[in-house]
Structure 1
Amino acid sequence: MVSFLFLDFDGVLHPQYDGEPTPKEVCFCHLPRFEAVMRRYPGVQIVISSTWRQQFGMLQLRAFFSTDIARRIVGITPTYPADGPPRMHIREWEILQWLKQHHASNKQWVALDDSQGDFRDYRHRVVFCQPWEGLSEHRAVQLSKALQGTRL
């Protein structure tokens, strides 16, 4: 059974705009679809892995979501140290660090992300969205299957 979902925002909950700010009218346009999937899996807790965690605190991050989903947001991943050695697969490292810090390394998890280059050894646990599209209907079906544990 999947315990945690690690959630990215840009390229997932709304399309990615190549370093440009997301237009207000598009921001979080896929949130209703995401929340609908998550409501079918009430035992899955959410950890924010998006870079938005570097700009907003937990209360602000939770405020983007409906109350029932916001209650399930249990944390944010640590940020890879700026003075650390250059490395790829940073998002994967951050997720593994969070699991280690919370004594949850043995728990099943899934990530919802658009950055394929940020994962290496655990790509099979990631539902990858197309950055310019975000969480499409097709990806929502994939997420649901992953949360059921049928594609891990």
Structure 2
Amino acid sequence: VVISSTWRLQVPIDGLRARFSPDVAHRVVGVTPRFFELVNVPDSLLGYEREAECNAWLRANDRSVFPWLAVDDRSWLYRPFNQSLFLVDGKTGLTAEMAEELIILLHRP
């Protein structure tokens, strides 16, 4: 799990881990870089900050060839129809019902 939330701008990684249940907390391995710190952002990602940040983390950690999935409530931070975005409602967050959908999605080959 890599945190791309704006929480990462104010809270250290241990504080971020503390916001999750223990079974998820130990899986948090890092945070994405800030958009304004990125270099060589592809033109196709210039208007999509969060996706650019995710891609930068993937490249920096030799993971760019692996599938990834973002759980987010802000679709406009990703390119339209991005298959790597699992969109949640910002008012409710990740509900139990949506978590079941996410688990199914993550187990697909």
- What's the TM-score, normalizing by structure 2? 0.82
Deviations 1:37-75, CA, capped at 9 Å, x for gaps: xxxxxxxxx111100000011111112223332111000
Q: What percentage of aligned pairs have identical amino acids? A: 35
| Greater RCO (Cα-Cα under 8 Å, separation 6 or more) | 1
Question: Quick one: structure 1 residues 122 and 105, their matched pair in 2 at CA, closer, same or farther if it must change by over 3 Å?
Answer: farther
Structure with bigger helix share is 2
User: Greater CA deviation, 67-76 or 129-138?
Assistant: 129-138
Question: Quick one: structure 1 residues 106 and 138, their matched pair in 2 at CA, closer, same or farther if it must change by over 3 Å?
Answer: same
Structure 2 unaligned residues grouped into runs of 5+? none
Q: Retained in 2: the 8 A contact 1:115–1:128?
A: yes
Deviations 1:126-146, CA, capped at 9 Å, x for gaps: 110122222133422321122
Question: Quick one: structure 1 residues 132 and 120, their matched pair in 2 at CA, closer, same or farther if it must change by over 3 Å?
Answer: same
RMSD between aligned alpha carbons? 2.3
SS at match of 1:109: coil
Structure 1 unaligned residues grouped into runs of 5+? 1-45
Number of the residue aligned with 2:58 = 99
- What's the TM-score, normalizing by structure 1? 0.61
Between the two proteins, the alignment pairs up a number of residues equal to 104
2:5 pairs with 1:53: no
Detail structure 1 runs of 4+ shifted over 6 Å in the superposition. Answer: 82-85
Number of the residue aligned with 1:126 = 85
Number of the residue aligned with 1:67 = 22
